[in-house]
Structure 1
Amino acid sequence: MNVLIAGAGIGGLTTALSLHAAGIDDVTLYESVSEIRPLGVGINLLPHAVRELTELGLGDELAELGVATSTLSYFNRHGQQIWTEPRGRAAGYHWPQYSVHRGRLQLLLRDAVLERLGADAIRLGSPVGDARSEGGRTSVAVVGGPDAGTRVTADVVIGADGIHSALRRQQYPDEGAPVWNGLILWRGTARVRPYLDGLTMIMAGDAMQKFVAYPLSAVGDDGLQTVNFIAEYRSEDPEPGASDWNRGADPSAVLGRFADWDFGWLDVPAVISAADEILEYPMVDRDPVERWTFGSQTLLGDAAHAMYPIGSNGASQAIIDARTLAFQVGTVDSIDDALGAYEAERRPRTTALTLSNRSMGPEQVMQLAYERAPGGFGDIELVVPYAERAEIANRYKQAAGFVPELLNERASLTVPVPADD
């Protein structure tokens, strides 16, 4: 069997590694950029995604790459705590939760693909165009790079080419631009003094304005650590602008909106001021669709279910997609049945998660606190009782598939590969 993957992002690269682990070595990734560079800022890998990367043999590398998150805490815009919970192993998972630099994770996955599948496994500068079914297989047009103008045929074609997926657009030509929810994100990293225990992910604010921060490194000899931050606000502009992570932002505009957000335990303006660069991006997603699979081609990751960055699930869900797809392809005799089983398992879950993120997911506790006590509170129990806060947190874990007991007891997605005689 040979497999063509459109896109060498986190989802596409993890799919290639997962297929290789399932005994499928004839895998080629076609990537539009001419060089994979460590772009972007921080992301979170939840325990269910860390489990999958660990079972791919990347556990030690992840531990060196990321910071194991100890705690997740929500605050209002006055710095008062609304909800806090342990994360990773402290929460009873068999695997940690990591905060990592997205670009460095992509390079780790790229290097593993090249080592395991060969130097020709990734074709850079080679975006794909239309796909056609041909006698049970699929041919794909290559529109750039050394193979430009040719068609490549594969037994399975996987569209992992992101929120602007060419393969998705072919199936849904009238879909239009991604859906904007009115929020603008400013993202950056900064070297600052550690806050709280130096291992905590915090979210402060509400649906109108929010600040997120989490560490990406250990504390250095200078007493500083690298912290990833996201500052967001609800825009009055009618159009979101370009969905481009590389668009720079004016730091003074960001500071102006968060000038008085000094909580004592975290000085938000100081973090923003210390950033080397700030990138601007509208918070967008895609409407869920009723079908991912068309013959021997299917969609994966953001191409299938681009979702708002709520609950730290975007990259993690792409990794789960990859492992689920490889498991089905590696254990089900028929390609049609394998792709059907993959979609049946993943599409309903990611549809529910996409819609949950639109209603703020686990961050609902922040909005409830704001609506009920906009000026702050003396006792959070009188504003949003513990049972209500816990229910919101647990409901999201159920939707995203990382309830500790269920994840720990779930069967592995690793495909048993017969040993060589």
Structure 2
Amino acid sequence: MIIIAGGGIGGLAAALSLQAAGIPCRVLEGVDEIRPLGVGINLLPHAVRELTELGLAERLAGIGVATAELRYVSAHGQLIWAEPRGMAAGYRWPQYSVHRGLLQMMLLEVARERGIPVECGRRVTGFAQDAEGVIVQAEGGALRGTALVGADGIHSAIRRHFAPGEGAPSWQGAILWRGTTVAAPFLGGRTMVQAGHHDQKFVCYPIRHLPDGTVLTNWIAEMKVDTSAGFAREDWNREADRGKFLPHYESWDWGWLDVPGLIRRGDKVLEYPMVDRDPLPRWTEGRVTLLGDAAHPMYPIGSNGASQAVLDARLLARELARHPRVEDGLAAYEAARRPPTAQLCLANRELGPDLVLEEVHRRAPGGFTDLESVISREELEGVAANYKKLAGFDPAALNARESWSVPA
């Protein structure tokens, strides 16, 4: 029995993947009740492929919006770069924008339908290993398993074993304010917009089409602030006063997108600092390993956090199914996943694909009349293509890759 610490997106995807590979598992979640928290996230085609192979295609389509386009625009509303996304870009699988809580609840519902034990109020606090397996210490009593997967997030108790002196997550002074607003669709109703530059950015995309023709729009306002302000760096659900940041966006009404209007009309605003952690030199020791944010918490750039957790989950199941010894399966999983996710974490610190916003702002802070005189199309294409390859969703490579599914 594989024990999974954490019932988030990564932990539940791991449970479904293990079961599909014929490997018994159970999930221990620390909260007393799993509720649909958070706001919007994106699932890129490589993650949607894996969830599709778990039989979840129709459920995903029912809770999300299939993104068709990504646009980068300047702080003056000028188009810098546009590219098709999902099946519009030639992938065999869609890209979805979805409410994080709805995705988690859908995975939880499917796990329970398929008979996977998910036990709440069972926060994992530590572990020990012996010749026969792993003894997991958890609230409500210890239990034994053949392996332990730490999918318990950025504050992972399991990660502390691998990095005991790591301390708090790394924060470089960027704050995210997030909310949702019911509004008229913009740019066809299936477009994701990234606007601004490193010190002040705005991201928005629809996460649900409503019966009256409006859309529930997820938005993120990001700004650099005074790092001495003393923010609680990792609190995802602290309600904030939009007056802290709205004045900086008052001029960002470009006709096709009314940024200050979205902020004003939105539901409650959540505030949290943008943090990550340094890549670890190892995730695995014997029968214990890490997954998702416990393994590689990264800046929310490039829409990759949840997607990479899903990829972790699928590779974990494949390697455990392929190797008779649990220790060998976990080692193979780490060898496949730790190097690329470490590269991705570091690339996101360097702005990832959002680098084009910063470059245009640096070269033309007052706006431009001729984009080609500021940045070439070849440079824009190069940034976009290189990030897709690094993150594992280059369309040609993904479409050609063999399935990671392992028959039970």
Fold shared, TM-score > 0.5 on shorter chain: yes
Find the counterpart in structure 2 of residue 171 from structure 1.
Answer: 162
Find the counterpart in structure 2 of residue 5 from structure 1.
Answer: 4
Alignment partners' CA distance in 2, 1:43 and 1:388: 27
What stretches of structure 1 move > 3 A for 4+ residues in a row? none
1:27–1:117 CA contact under 8 A, matched in 2: no
Partner of 2:192: helix, strand, or coil? Answer: strand
Find the counterpart in structure 2 of residue 190 from structure 1.
Answer: 181
For residues 293 and 266 of structure 1, do their structure 2 counterparts lie closer, same or farther at Cα, with a shift above 3 Å needed? same
User: How far apart are residue 246 of structure 1 and its match?
Assistant: 1.2
Find the counterpart in structure 2 of residue 37 from structure 1.
Answer: 35
Find the counterpart in structure 1 of residue 362 from structure 2.
Answer: 371
Partner of 2:267: helix, strand, or coil? Answer: strand
User: How far apart are residue 196 of structure 1 and its match?
Assistant: 1.1
User: How far apart are residue 237 of structure 1 and its match?
Assistant: 2.8
* Pairs within 5 Å for 1:307-318: 307-318=298-309
Find the counterpart in structure 1 of residue 394 from structure 2.
Answer: 403
Alignment partners' CA distance in 2, 1:338 and 1:384: 46
Alignment partners' CA distance in 2, 1:151 and 1:388: 55
Indicate which of 293, 297, 300 corresponds to 1:306.
297
Find the counterpart in structure 2 of residue 227 from structure 1.
Answer: 217
2:233–2:275 CA contact under 8 A, matched in 1: no
How large is the RMSD of aligned CA atoms in angstroms? 0.9
2:47–2:311 CA contact under 8 A, matched in 1: yes
Find the counterpart in structure 2 of residue 335 from structure 1.
Answer: 326
Alignment partners' CA distance in 2, 1:164 and 1:205: 31
User: How far apart are residue 8 of structure 1 and its match?
Assistant: 0.2
2:39–2:218 CA contact under 8 A, matched in 1: yes
User: How far apart are residue 240 of structure 1 and its match?
Assistant: 3.6
Partner of 2:324: helix, strand, or coil? Answer: coil
Alignment partners' CA distance in 2, 1:6 and 1:41: 23
* Pairs within 5 Å for 1:22-421: 22-24=21-23, 26-118=24-116, 121-142=117-138, 144=139, 148=140, 150-221=141-212, 223-238=213-228, 239-417=230-408
Which amino acid in 2 is paired with 1:9? G
Partner of 2:166: helix, strand, or coil? Answer: coil
2:162–2:282 CA contact under 8 A, matched in 1: no
Alignment partners' CA distance in 2, 1:198 and 1:248: 28
Alignment partners' CA distance in 2, 1:354 and 1:395: 15
Partner of 1:48: helix, strand, or coil? Answer: helix
1:139–1:153 CA contact under 8 A, matched in 2: yes
User: How far apart are residue 171 of structure 1 and its match?
Assistant: 2.3
Partner of 1:5: helix, strand, or coil? Answer: strand
User: How far apart are residue 53 of structure 1 and its match?
Assistant: 0.4
Deviations 1:269-305 (A, max 9, x none): 1000111110001000010010000110000000000
User: How far apart are residue 397 of structure 1 and its match?
Assistant: 0.4
Deviations 1:178-221 (A, max 9, x none): 00121000001000111111100000000000000000112531
Q: What stretches of structure 1 of length at least 5 have no aligned partner?
A: none
User: How far apart are residue 136 of structure 1 and its match?
Assistant: 4.6
1:182–1:240 CA contact under 8 A, matched in 2: no
Partner of 2:55: helix, strand, or coil? Answer: helix
Which amino acid in 1 is paired with 2:266? A
Deviates further, 353-362 or 233-242: 233-242
User: How far apart are residue 153 of structure 1 and its match?
Assistant: 1.3
1:20–1:117 CA contact under 8 A, matched in 2: no
1:137–1:154 CA contact under 8 A, matched in 2: yes
Alignment partners' CA distance in 1, 2:343 and 2:232: 27
Alignment partners' CA distance in 2, 1:348 and 1:218: 38
Alignment partners' CA distance in 2, 1:280 and 1:350: 26
Partner of 1:106: helix, strand, or coil? Answer: helix
Q: What stretches of structure 2 of length at least 5 have no aligned partner?
A: none
1:332–1:338 CA contact under 8 A, matched in 2: yes
Alignment partners' CA distance in 1, 2:196 and 2:355: 11
Find the counterpart in structure 2 of residue 19 from structure 1.
Answer: 18
2:172–2:227 CA contact under 8 A, matched in 1: no
1:305–1:354 CA contact under 8 A, matched in 2: yes
Alignment partners' CA distance in 2, 1:108 and 1:241: 30
Which amino acid in 2 is paired with 1:104? L
Deviations 1:343-366 (A, max 9, x none): 000000000000000000000000
How many residues are treated as equivalent by the alignment? 407
Alignment partners' CA distance in 2, 1:117 and 1:156: 19
User: What is the TM-score normalised by the length of structure 1?
Assistant: 0.95
2:11–2:151 CA contact under 8 A, matched in 1: yes
Alignment partners' CA distance in 2, 1:242 and 1:345: 30
User: What is the TM-score normalised by the length of structure 2?
Assistant: 0.98
Deviates further, 252-261 or 381-390: 252-261
Partner of 2:52: helix, strand, or coil? Answer: helix
User: How far apart are residue 117 of structure 1 and its match?
Assistant: 2.3
Alignment partners' CA distance in 2, 1:170 and 1:352: 22
Partner of 2:251: helix, strand, or coil? Answer: coil
| Percent of matched pairs sharing the same residue | 54
Which amino acid in 2 is paired with 1:248? E
Alignment partners' CA distance in 2, 1:219 and 1:8: 29
1:136–1:296 CA contact under 8 A, matched in 2: no
